[in-house]
Amino acid sequence: MHTRQLTDTRRPARHQTAPPVGGPSGGVDNRCPRRSVTSTTGPWWSGAAAVAAALTLTGVPAAPQRGTAPLIAANGSCAVPNPAPAAELAITVTASAATVVAYPRPAPPVLHELAYRIAPDACDTANGRFDVVRLRAWYRDDAGRQTTRDIVRWYADNDSGAALTTEYPDPWPGVRHDFWPPGWLSDRNLSDAFTSGDFFRSNANLNSSSGDGDGRLLTGIAELATWHNPAPSGRILAVTELAHTRGLIAYPRTVDRAGRTGIAVATITRSQRHLLILDPDTGHVLAYERATRTPTGWQPSAYLLLVTRTHADRRWWEAPTAAGDTAPAAQQAGLMLPRRQSRFIVHPDQTCNPEHPTAPQEGTMR
């Protein structure tokens, strides 16, 4: 069992000096880590810089209200949750209003101040080799049809994991079961995400620090948050990387669909807005929204709500004393087959590149 100690805020020893990218290990160390968490004072800033950053929040009024009741209750329990039943998803599937934002500020001072005061979360000290995350996701397609999913995910540093999913409308009635043996999640680029700034940007799909005009960094951070429950040092790293990204706008008082007030960070173009909402105390990602500009205002095409974060030693089918990633024989027989997820949780819009026509083979009709 891997326990969490209260003596060091740093990530495990393997995270102190990252192996070189492209070296013999390809920048990945597969040894099983020990996580450690305790109170932190955050990165060091000069007194003048800290005061200047704090002043950016001075006089900010209360958060603008959404005008509707919260769509989901987010409690502080560290117990491993279950996904919501499809009947509950049916009640909230019509939610379509975009997030209301106000009081814009330049993002760097607000984010530096947040990084300075990030504190441990109540579930940081929960034991377990798996990061467990529960999320609610809404999608709207070009025809206006909306789908809602509720997902509980397990992820371990050896790129193994599992997921329970419910959906409305539901093409597969009931709860969908997925699991991935060690190494099967390597294509998701999740391992070592919180090792360093370079690793973080690479794993969040933004290798350049020039800016985030297309929302790749905000989208990548949201995707990482659907798998990871990072320690305070990892959250400080993520917020600091955001603070060093040009072109971002901060909204210090923003309400998500669970009724929680957070600090929103946004990048806006003529046609799209990417919005990431962060917990003002712990730095955790609370929500992500991608919205498209329409004649009547912003219309969300994807919304992601992070509901629960904790840690666990086992997945739902494993006995309390189970070790490794071996499923029972009945499940190996076909009840749960490892497979790629059928839909990404969040992703930036991609341009459509039609395939070039291929020449007909010899002997075929044109």
DSSP letter string, 134-162? EEEEEEE-TTS-EEEEEEEEEE-TTS-EE
What's the whole-number mean pLDDT along residues 237-247?
Answer: 89
- More confident of the two residues 97 and 50: 97
**Mean pLDDT highest for which of 41-50, 187-196, 219-228?**
219-228
Residue 230 half-sphere exposure toward CB, CA atoms < 13 A: 30
Q: What is the rounded distance in angstroms from the CA atom of residue 159 to the CA atom of residue 186? A: 6
Mean pLDDT of 212-236: 87
Report the pLDDT averaged over residues 325-337: 45
Contact 287, 303 (CB under 8 A): yes
What does the pLDDT read at residue 350?
A: 45
Please tell me the distance from the alpha carbon of residue 323 to that of residue 237, in angstroms, as a whole number: 31
What number of other Cβ atoms are within 10 A of residue 47's Cβ?
A: 7
Average pLDDT over residues 63-77: 74
Please report the pLDDT score of residue 114 as a whole number: 95
The reported pLDDT for the residue numbered 191 is 81
Provide the sign of the torsion angle of the four alpha carbons 162, 277, 281, 207, taken in this order. positive
Instruction: Determine if the peptide bond prior to 169 is cis (ω within 30°).
Output: yes
Q: Find the farthest-apart pair of alpha carbons in the chain and give their distance in angstroms, rounded.
A: 78
pLDDT of residue 330: 39
Q: Which residue has the higher pLDDT, 68 or 211?
A: 68
Dihedral pair phi/psi, residue 26, rounded to 5°: 70, 20
What tokens were used for 72?
Answer: 């989901």
Query: How many CB atoms sit inside 10 A of residue 147's CB?
Result: 17
Asked if 99 contacts 254 with a C-beta cutoff of 8 angstroms, the reply is yes
Average pLDDT estimate for 296-311: 92
**CB of 194 closer than 8 Å to CB of 233:** yes
Q: How far is CA 79 from CA 117, 308, 310, in A?
A: 26, 9, 7
Checking if the pLDDT of 94 tops 80, the result is no
Mean pLDDT of 155-171: 91
Check if the beta carbon of residue 288 is closer than 8 Å to that of residue 139. no
Q: What angle do CA 118, 122, 126 make, to 5 degrees?
A: 120
Q: What is the pLDDT of residues 11-29, one digit of tens each?
A: 333 233 232 323 332 222 3
Q: Is the pLDDT of residue 51 over 70?
A: no
Lowest-confidence pick of 139-148, 184-193, 342-351, 355-364? 355-364
Winning range, highest mean pLDDT, from 183-192, 290-299, 306-315: 306-315
Cβ pair 48, 18 in contact under 8 A? no
| Residue 223: C-alpha distances to residues 111, 131, 219, 316, 324 (Å) | 20, 14, 6, 23, 26
* Contact (Cβ atoms closer than 8 angstroms) between residue 249 and residue 104: yes
Which pLDDT value is given to residue 345? Answer: 58
What end-to-end distance do the CA atoms of the chain give, in Å? 65
Could you tell me which residue, 324 or 91, shows the higher pLDDT?
91
Mean pLDDT of 359-363: 43
Note the pLDDT of residue 271.
Answer: 87
Task: Kindly report, residue by residue over 174-214, the tens digit of the pLDDT.
Answer: 899 998 999 998 888 788 877 777 767 777 765 444 456 66
Average pLDDT over residues 42-70: 55
Residue with the bigger pLDDT between 72 and 360: it is: 72
